[in-house]
Chain A
């Protein structure tokens, strides 16, 4: 799955998900643009109190910043996360519901490979 974000056609601000208005300039037109996978971990947590529908013991999440300044929240697939570390983002299945529906989103992996999601 391709990694992408949205860019305001007026001021160039990168954003995700698609907003109605640009929070920087009020622009209303956006274009989907490919996103480089390189990003940096801003903060993270390992969540043990998962919402209903999960059959996993825990899952890690993080906020990462891309080189263009865009910050997004995603699933963190990394064995020893550290604030500030370089990551590699992919887009993939982040959650599968009990009825087999799945959700896609950002997954952040260490540059030397995934930590193998539980």
Chain B
């Protein structure tokens, strides 16, 4: 297989996007193309466009989005397809782009993803996200993603001794990180004392799915992110920027019906996809300098960090208490602010995570820079853990 790298990245500010869905996607894509040193038009070098979105059809009443992007960016006759894998659509599009280049089918692939969720009322957005659940066994009962995370949280807190204060510590950390990220949705620091008191702030931090509270969950977001992928041995010939190498990328599935899992506190697809990515890269969890984990709900940052081998089982909350996962700690997690505070526009998220890692590995993350970061891990979590993509990017030499 050919080696594949990321030459360019783009990212809109997450939150409420004032323009159209197509404009938003093209803004991120153009930024990535400019960053890579390429452009659309008659002499463009992009062989394939992959557009990741979960909600284009339901929220924007739009299909064939990839064709629209190809035309809008003057990239015809490049191949173009839309990729949908729930909230892991972005990670899946990156993986498919990687596969297209590694196989030799393409030299250069534009991956862009996004969703516009703020234009519908909250309950409609909640219902839309819930459509990824099993239609017969779960969705039709009125179950939602927060319901499953609430049930998971109850068990994991009890099993590992995780406290509400630990979840509050995660919120404080990720909100503080987002303050350093100009493209994050929530620029609003939260204090531990505010989240733990019983007064007005606590009342606003209402229970959404017992024991989950509002501040344990990500906001509803618009946004897009993009990356230009290229064969490592073709970047110079195509006039592209020096790439950050994708060392490993893998996905795995778990039962769609959550109740069918043998251990309801385990996230097997996270563990298996991460293991496959490490094997592919010839790297180990100890090699990871920075991680972007899918904290759509804060408890998932802890659970995923253990499934991915970054901490022994049952200990990630202890590392959090010691400050090990803060910027400046031993293993910073979600320096971007994570989904919790940067935002979570579903189809953009998996790409956004890798965009942050590329910033970190290039040493251009500004105040949120993880010093000396050479290898980053992203976990993009689809459904309630039923389809997960793990990606390792690195500046290490391939034979190191």
Binding site for B on A (CB under 8 A): 15-17, 23, 42-54, 59, 61-63, 71-75, 83, 94-95, 103, 105
Contact = CB atoms under 8 A, between A and B. Distances in A.
| Most chain B CB inside 10 Å of its own CB: which residue of A45, A53, A75 | A45
B161 to A, nearest CB: 15
Interface string B95-138: 00000000000000000000000000111101100100010111
| Most chain A CB inside 10 Å of its own CB: which residue of B122, B140, B142, B210 | B142
Interface of B: 121-124, 126-127, 130, 134, 136-138, 140-144, 146-147, 150-152, 154-155, 158, 206-212, 255, 257-260, 264
Contacts, number: 109
Given A42-B264, A51-B123, A73-B143, 9 more contacts: A23-B255, A48-B207, A51-B126, A52-B123, A54-B142, A63-B151, A63-B259, A75-B141, A95-B140
B264 A16 contact: no
Contacts of B143: 47, 61, 73
A42 B124 CA distance: 29
B141 A51 contact: no
Contacts of B158: 83
Given A48-B207, A75-B141, A94-B142, A61 B151 contact: yes
A94 B141 contact: yes
Given A47-B209, A52-B123, A52-B127, A73 B141 contact: yes
Given A49-B144, A63-B258, A44 B206 contact: no
B151 A49 contact: no
A47 B206 CA distance: 11
A54 B123 CA distance: 9
A95 B264 contact: no
Contacts of B206: 48
Of all A-B residue pairs in the complex, the 4 with the closest CB atoms, nearest first, are: A45-B150, A51-B127, A52-B123, A43-B151
Given A16-B137, A61-B147, A73-B141, A43 B123 contact: no
Chain A at the B interface: mostly helix, strand, loop or mixed?
strand
Contacts of A49: 122-123, 126, 144, 146, 208-209
A16 B260 CA distance: 9
| Most chain B CB inside 10 Å of its own CB: which residue of A49, A52, A54, A103 | A49
Contact of B123 (A16, A42, A50): A50
Contact of B210 (A16, A45, A54): A45
B258 A48 contact: no
Contacts of B258: 63, 73
A47 B144 contact: yes
A66 B379 CA distance: 34
A91 to B, nearest CB: 12
A72 B136 CA distance: 11
Nearest to A17: B136
Contacts of B207: 46, 48
| Most chain A CB inside 10 Å of its own CB: which residue of B123, B124, B158, B258 | B123
A48 B151 contact: no
